[in-house]
Amino acid sequence: MYVCLCHGITDTQIREAVNKHGDSSLADVKKRLGVADQCGKCSRMATNIIKAQVDVE
């Protein structure tokens, strides 16, 4: 599912950033993928996905 329409970033890509690269915050994922660096509408959903994934680990 697309989370960030500005950059075409999916929830799978965000989970991978956490699982494979050890990102643990929106700032980390933003730096890696560019998520939420344009309109910002995806920031809440992206944050929720990151938090849920960090909690799983």
Indicate whether 5 belongs to the interface with ligand FES (CB under 6 A). yes
SS3 state at 16: helix
Spatial separation of the C-alpha atoms in residues 13 and 17, rounded to whole Å: 6
Alpha carbons 50 and 11: distance in angstroms, whole number: 9
Question: Which one of residues 12, 19, 25, 38 is an interface residue with ligand FES (CB under 6 A)?
Answer: 38
Among 6, 11, 30, 54, binds ligand FES (CB under 6 A): 6
Token couple for 7: 């950059």
Give the one residue of 17, 18, 36, 49 binding ligand FES; rule: CB under 6 A: 36
Contact residues for ligand FES, defined by CB under 6 A: 4-6, 35-42
